[in-house]
């Protein structure tokens, strides 16, 4: 059987699992995976009387030329094939601002903005589903990344359907996609940042996965089978969960201690995570803290506290102003460091308008910086002098 037939059969099989579909919004970046998805939709959705549109998002975080060229490529392809096309563009600096506000990295912030565009556009167009072009390779990369980061969803990875999102190519190998595009004569864009190994996901793709494939034959199937089994377990646990949390206030939840401890530890851990979701906690909480909270041990982070009082358990979100922050590091070059409740900025520019604090913080690189709550201390490293004058500022969040 030719590879093209394999891809088409997997695509149609995936499509049947969500049928009927009223209208689809296709997220197309111009890369190989999304162009293959677009091609398959062009071949099969019209015969199934399923209308579709294409959306591409310009994140505006690469060079202006690179950002515009991918969107232009998708727009040109859609115009040539008479496909409804929508482009959304993030304003310059929006992604970085979102990363700061969410206390996350640039990639996560870009994903947040991108998905927001998708969902609003789906509402505007009346789309019942948003198709994303994740593949089996993306699944493996995600499984590895989440496992190494200790994520609770590490074992089951990306779900094929999470309404309104659907991934029709999740079981297709990227090598087969490239063969399919070559046979169909369809061009695609290549993201230059894919070779930048400063990103963890790229290091996994370019270094770790090739090593595993060479050293542990068959590891891919083992990981994917394990993920499928874990997904079934997760579905079962979720089906057993009840609405146990009561609102004491907008930032505090409570539940009966007797009821909470009647559950198995596996369910108690899930209830703790559920409480964090309800309270809108965005900070990554170490599993050691979650485990202690699920065991009834009083514990606290910069953003959340867990404690028992009489016959109730409480999960309370903390104000950042009420918590002492600690930061220590050696500053060797100009940089911005994101803290739990503010931004530590090191700059060699005397006229930097972003620096609001006392100019007595003038130091020379390299130096040691220590932050305790809103007190910043600097100390020149003994015996080291770079001769570069810099300003060091600790800027609290605007809502502090």
Residue 124 reports pLDDT greater than 70: yes
Q: What is the pLDDT of residue 138?
A: 94
List the beta bridge partners of residue 327.
371
Cα(51)–Cα(46) distance, integer angstroms: 7
**Ordered domains of the chain (ranges, CATH):** 3-215 (3.40.50.620), 246-318 (no CATH), 324-396 (no CATH)
Residue 391 reports pLDDT greater than 90: no
How does DSSP assign 217-228, residue by residue?
TTHHHHHHHHHH
Contact between 244 and 271 (Cβ < 8 Å): yes
Cα(58)–Cα(66) distance, integer angstroms: 10
Residue 49 reports pLDDT greater than 50: yes
Cα(325)–Cα(339) distance, integer angstroms: 8
Residue 269 reports pLDDT greater than 90: yes
Q: What is the mean pLDDT of residues 363-375?
A: 53
Cα(187)–Cα(46) distance, integer angstroms: 22
Q: What is the mean pLDDT of residues 241-245?
A: 94
Q: What is the mean pLDDT of residues 175-202?
A: 87
Q: Which tokens hold the place of 67?
A: 């950002």
Dihedral (CA of 380, 384, 387, 393) sign:
negative
Confidence of residue 397 (pLDDT cuts 50, 70, 90): very low
Q: What is the pLDDT of residue 33?
A: 96
User: Minimum mean pLDDT among 62-66, 234-238, 286-290, 326-330: which range?
Assistant: 326-330
- Nearest residue to 228 via CA among 144, 141, 160: 160
**More confident: 297 or 353:** 297
pTM: 0.71
User: Minimum mean pLDDT among 15-24, 181-190, 194-203, 356-365: which range?
Assistant: 356-365
**More confident: 390 or 185:** 185
Q: Locate tokens 């930097």: which residue?
A: 352
pLDDT tens digit sequence for 141-176: 999 988 887 766 556 788 899 889 999 999 999 999
Residue 136 reports pLDDT greater than 60: yes
Residue 355 reports pLDDT greater than 80: no
Q: What is the mean pLDDT of residues 351-371?
A: 48
Instruction: Give the CA angle between residues 348, 354, 360 to the nearest 5°.
Output: 60
Instruction: Give the CA angle between residues 44, 67, 119 to the nearest 5°.
Output: 50
- CB atoms under 10 Å from CB of 226, counted, come to 14
Confidence of residue 211 (pLDDT cuts 50, 70, 90): very high
Q: Tell me the pLDDT of the chain averaged across its residues.
A: 81
Contact between 133 and 167 (Cβ < 8 Å): yes
Residue 359 reports pLDDT greater than 50: no
Q: What is the pLDDT of residue 365?
A: 56
Q: What is the mean pLDDT of residues 337-361?
A: 48
Long-range contacts at 239-246 (CB < 8 A, ≥ 24 apart)? 240/267, 241/267, 241/270, 241/271, 241/274, 244/271, 245/271, 245/274, 245/275, 245/278, 245/315
Residue 298 reports pLDDT greater than 70: yes
Q: What is the pLDDT of residue 352?
A: 43
Rg (CA), the chain: 25
Q: Tell me the percentage of the chain whose pLDDT exceeds 90.
A: 47
* Helix spans in the chain (H): 3-16, 32-44, 64-80, 94-102, 106-125, 136-149, 174-184, 200-203, 209-215, 219-240, 257-260, 265-279, 287-294
């Amino acid at each position: 059987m030719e590879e093209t037939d394999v891809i088409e059969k997997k695509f149609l099989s995936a499509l049947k699992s969500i049928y009927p579909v009223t209208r689809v919004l296709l997220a197309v970046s111009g890369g190989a995976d999304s162009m293959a998805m677009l091609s398959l939709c062009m071949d099969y959705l019209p015969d199934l009387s399923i209308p579709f549109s294409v959306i591409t998002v310009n994140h505006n975080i690469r060079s202006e030329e690179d950002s515009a060229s991918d969107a232009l490529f998708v727009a040109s392809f859609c115009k040539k094939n008479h496909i409804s096309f929508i482009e959304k563009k993030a304003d310059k600096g929006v992604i970085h601002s979102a990363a700061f506000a969410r206390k996350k990295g640039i990639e996560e912030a870009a994903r947040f903005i991108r998905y927001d565009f998708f969902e609003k556009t789906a509402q505007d167009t009346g789309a019942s589903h948003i198709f994303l072009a994740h593949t089996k390779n993306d699944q493996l990369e995600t499984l590895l990344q989440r496992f190494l980061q200790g994520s609770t969803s590490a074992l089951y990875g990306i779900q094929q359907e999470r309404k309104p999102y659907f991934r029709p190519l999740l079981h297709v190998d990227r090598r087969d996609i490239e063969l399919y595009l070559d046979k169909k004569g369809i061009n695609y864009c290549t993201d230059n940042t894919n070779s930048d190994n400063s990103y963890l996901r790229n290091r996994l793709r370019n270094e770790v996965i090739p090593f595993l494939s060479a050293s542990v034959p068959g590891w891919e199937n083992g990981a994917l089978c394990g993920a499928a089994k874990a997904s079934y377990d997760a579905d079962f646990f979720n089906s057993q969960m009840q609405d146990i949390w009561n609102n004491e206030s907008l930032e505090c939840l409570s539940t009966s201690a007797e009821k909470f401890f009647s559950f198995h530890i596996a369910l108690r851990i899930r209830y703790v995570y559920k409480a964090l979701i309800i309270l809108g906690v965005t900070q990554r909480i170490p599993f050691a803290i979650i485990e202690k909270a699920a065991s009834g041990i009083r514990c606290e982070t910069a953003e959340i506290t867990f404690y028992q009082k009489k016959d109730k358990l409480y999960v309370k979100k903390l104000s950042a102003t009420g918590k002492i922050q600690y930061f220590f590091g050696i500053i060797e070059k100009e940089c911005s460091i994101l803290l739990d409740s503010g931004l530590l900025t090191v700059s060699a520019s005397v006229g930097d308008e972003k620096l609001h604090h006392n100019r007595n913080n003038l130091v020379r690189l390299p130096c040691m910086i220590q932050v305790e709550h809103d007190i910043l201390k600097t100390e020149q490293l003994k015996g080291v002098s770079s001769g570069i004058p810099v300003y060091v500022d600790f800027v609290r969040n605007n809502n502090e």
